[in-house]
């Protein structure tokens, strides 16, 4: 798919491997939508906040890796996961252990 997809979830890797036309179209759409006015680190942290609010634990390791590569600190990653706590509730904490484990493993 052109970029390093190491660390993606098993489900997403199966999507990439088993449905190349669909995953290619998906990745093209994602690339076309990558027009944020935010700097890379802020965009990565905001994405983590969305994943946490949606409780999408499987995407967290890959996106923590991207955030860390963009310069995010451990505390910033934790804050991004928890920023939605007032609006989304305690569900955001579901992804916290995965985020911390991934950050510390790199």
- Write out the two tokens for 62: 């890959």
Q: In terms of domains, do 28 and 52 share one?
A: no
Single pTM value for the model: 0.84
Structural domain of 78: 40-105
4-15 pLDDT, tens digit each = 577 788 899 999
Compute the distance between CA of residue 79 and CA of residue 97 in angstroms, rounded to an integer. Answer: 13
Nearest to 52 by CA among 15, 87, 13, 6: 87
pLDDT band at 103 (very low <50, low <70, confident <90, very high): very high
Compute the distance between CA of residue 69 and CA of residue 67 in angstroms, rounded to an integer. Answer: 5
- Structural domain tally of the chain? 2
Q: In terms of domains, do 54 and 77 share one?
A: yes
41-57 pLDDT, tens digit each = 999 999 999 999 999 99
Q: In terms of domains, do 44 and 68 share one?
A: yes
Compute the distance between CA of residue 58 and CA of residue 11 in angstroms, rounded to an integer. Answer: 8
Pair 36, 67: CB distance under 8 Å: no
Q: What is the DSSP string of 23-38?
A: HHHHHHHHHHT---SS
Q: In terms of domains, do 45 and 92 share one?
A: yes
């Amino acid at each position: 798919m052109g970029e390093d997809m190491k660390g993606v979830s098993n489900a997403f890797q199966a999507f990439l491997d088993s449905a190349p036309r669909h995953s290619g179209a998906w990745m093209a759409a994602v690339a076309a939508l990558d027009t944020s006015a935010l700097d890379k680190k802020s965009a990565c942290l905001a994405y983590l906040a969305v994943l946490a609010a949606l409780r999408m634990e499987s995407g967290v390791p890959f996106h923590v890796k991207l955030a860390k590569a963009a310069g995010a600190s451990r505390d910033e990653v934790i804050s991004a996961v928890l920023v939605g706590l007032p609006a989304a509730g305690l569900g955001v904490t579901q992804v916290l252990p995965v985020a911390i484990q991934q950050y510390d493993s790199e």
